Amino acid sequence: MKRRDFFRVAAGGVAAATLSFETGGCAGSPSFQRWTWVHGSGDRSPDEWQAQYGHLAEAGYRGVLVSGGNTGVHATAAHSAGLEFHRWVWTLNRSGDEWVKTTHPEWFTVSRDGKSSLDSPPYVGYYQWLCPTRPEVRAYLTQSLLEIAQDPQVDGVHLDYVRHCDVILPRGLWSKYDLIQDREYPEFDFCYCEACREAFASLHDTDPLELPDPPMDEAWRRFRWDGVTGLVREVAEAVQSVPASPEGSSLRTDKTGKAISAAVFPTPAIARRLVRQAWDEWPVDAVFPMLYHSFYEEGLEWIGEGVREGLQALAARNANVNDTGEAPAPQKILAGLYLPALSEEERLRAVEIAQQARAHGVSFFEMGGLGS
């Protein structure tokens, strides 16, 4: 791809750049942000990363969410280009954490049919998940993420895989795994480890394995939503307590602390149903719903529907927070867009749809698909 074509595609094109709405401004304005996830490992040199991030900055991007690679190289390249640098971290999926896998195999989630995700990962080999109910897991992850946030080069921490395993996959992926998931099957239903069973029994005097229909039990569903949310609250408190740079992050209203954001499933309803994730209750600064329309066999307009549903849920949550004094829900929604499912023309339309739905921005998965 030629350099001028990269600018045109990455920036959203002339059509998107000239759009203006009451809230959000035009697609090139500071109030409507563009981000991208970045796989930071690879054979690019520091100069090549510098050039790549420079292209993004010229195209109007606000920041990068980087997984892997050398923090110093990426932070220097991003900051030199005027971009924010946020560390993108796999949270409860710890397939790459050899220390945990070797030292604490009991920390991993257990399915309803009694199999550990460490030894029998569902769907794919890297689906190895820690249990968020365990206090020792929360302490370990909170300390790990706090250390990342304490690096002065890091502007924010971006959580991913902060959920349970998919009890039901998005419908567009069923054929890929040769599955029909018309109900919650035991081998995909987590977590029934001893810690979860004991904690639930202490609250409800019932072992979840002895429930007449565990998937349909409201208290058991809520218990698992709350387990993930409890972890996020501890992590968010730790990260946001770290002093930010003088500039702070554009994702965070309070510039005194480091920003924390999360990649989440498309809407609160879908997230609760498929992966036990109640993200509209989380005290993070921003969420990046993965509005990957093709995974759900939906058209582009579904992106806007998802943004609106998310904004409504956050508004309702924050209205209740005003009465209870609890930590507020996320203040920003940036629509995650899946580049392999979008032609160049569809990219422009997807950005326009997200903006019309009053998203605070978009993020592309991932930078490699934007060209170079």
CATH of the domain at 279: 3.20.20.80
pLDDT band at residue 1 using 50, 70 and 90 as cut-offs? very low
Cα angle 367-369-372, degrees, rounded to a multiple of 5: 75
Q: What's the pLDDT tens digit per position in 119-152? A: 999 999 999 999 999 999 999 999 999 999 999 9
Q: Which pLDDT score, from 0 to 100, does residue 30 have?
A: 58
Q: Smallest Cα–Cα separation from 163: which of 232, 209, 220, 223?
A: 232
Comparing 130 with 324, which gets the higher pLDDT? 130
In whole angstroms, what is the distance from residue 122 CA to residue 109 CA? Answer: 11
237 inside domain? yes
Cα angle 126-131-135, degrees, rounded to a multiple of 5: 140
pLDDT reading at 12 higher than 80 = no
**CB of 11 within 8 A of CB of 351?**
no
Q: Smallest Cα–Cα separation from 22: which of 300, 314, 355?
A: 355
Task: Report helix, strand or coil for 65.
Answer: strand
pLDDT reading at 16 higher than 50 = no
| Average pLDDT across the chain, whole number | 92
pLDDT reading at 169 higher than 70 = yes
Q: Smallest Cα–Cα separation from 36: which of 372, 371, 362?
A: 362
Helices 218-240 and 194-204, axial angle in degrees (round to 10):
110
Phi, psi of 278 (to 5 degrees): -100, 70
Report the 10 Å Cβ neighbour count for 139.
11
Residues 206-230: what's their mean pLDDT? 97
Tell me the percentage of the chain whose pLDDT exceeds 70.
92
pLDDT band at residue 372 using 50, 70 and 90 as cut-offs? low
In whole angstroms, what is the distance from residue 339 CA to residue 292 CA? Answer: 9
Length of the chain: 372
Q: What's the pLDDT tens digit per position in 73-111? A: 999 999 999 999 999 999 999 999 999 999 999 999 999
Residues 225-233: what's their mean pLDDT? 98
In whole angstroms, what is the distance from residue 59 CA to residue 10 CA? Answer: 6
Q: Which pLDDT score, from 0 to 100, does residue 22 have?
A: 28
Helix and strand numbers, DSSP H then E, in the chain: 11, 8
145 inside domain? yes
**CB of 108 within 8 A of CB of 117?**
yes
pLDDT reading at 18 higher than 60 = no
337 inside domain? yes
189 inside domain? no
pLDDT reading at 26 higher than 60 = no
Pairing of strands 332-338, 286-289: parallel
158 inside domain? yes
Q: Which pLDDT score, from 0 to 100, does residue 371 have?
A: 73
279 inside domain? yes
Q: What's the pLDDT tens digit per position in 30-41? A: 589 999 999 999
pLDDT reading at 14 higher than 50 = no
pLDDT band at residue 246 using 50, 70 and 90 as cut-offs? confident
201 inside domain? no
Whole-structure pTM value:
0.93
Q: Is 315 exposed, middle or buried (0-12, 13-18, 19+ CB in 10 A)?
A: exposed
39 inside domain? yes
pLDDT band at residue 329 using 50, 70 and 90 as cut-offs? confident
> How many domains are there within the chain?
1
**Which domain does 169 fall in, by range?**
3-101+128-174+228-370
Phi, psi of 87 (to 5 degrees): -85, 125
Q: What's the pLDDT tens digit per position in 290-312? A: 999 999 999 999 999 999 999 99
